[in-house]
Structure 1
Amino acid sequence: MSSEEQVPVTEQLTDNTDRGRFELRRNDDLVGWLYYLHLKPNRYVLRHTEVETSHQHRGVASAVARQVLDEVRSRGGTITAICPFVVDYLSRTSAHTDLVDARHPGYTDRASAEAAQAAAGG
Structure 2
Amino acid sequence: MSSGRHAPVDEDLIDNTYQGRFELYRGGVLCGWLYYTLLKPNRYALQHTEVDADHQHQGVAGAMVRRVLEEIRARAGTITAICPFVVDFLSRTTTYADLIDLRHPGYSDRESAEAAYAKASG
Q: TM-score, normalised by structure 1?
A: 0.96
Please tell me the root mean square deviation across aligned C-alpha atoms, in Å.
Answer: 1.2
Partner of 2:117: 117
Answering whether residue 42 of structure 2 is matched by residue 54 of structure 1, we say no
Partner of 1:25: 25
Amino acid at match of 1:42: N
Map Cα deviations across residues 23-66 of structure 1 (whole Å, 9 max, x no partner). Answer: 00001010101000001100000000000001001100001100
**Superposed, which structure 2 residues align to 1:18-97 within 5 Å?**
18-97=18-97
Cα offset, 1:121, TM superposition: 1.5
Cα offset, 1:2, TM superposition: 3.2
Q: Specify every segment of 5 or more residues in structure 1 that has no aligned partner in the other structure, as ranges.
A: none
Q: Secondary structure at the match of 2:118?
A: helix
Cα offset, 1:5, TM superposition: 4.2
Taking the aligned partners of 1:119 and 1:66, their CA distance within structure 2 comes to 27
Cα offset, 1:69, TM superposition: 0.4
Identity over aligned residues, as a percent? 66
Amino acid at match of 1:45: A
Partner of 2:12: 12
Runs (4+) off by over 4 Å: none
Q: Specify every segment of 5 or more residues in structure 2 that has no aligned partner in the other structure, as ranges.
A: none
Partner of 1:105: 105
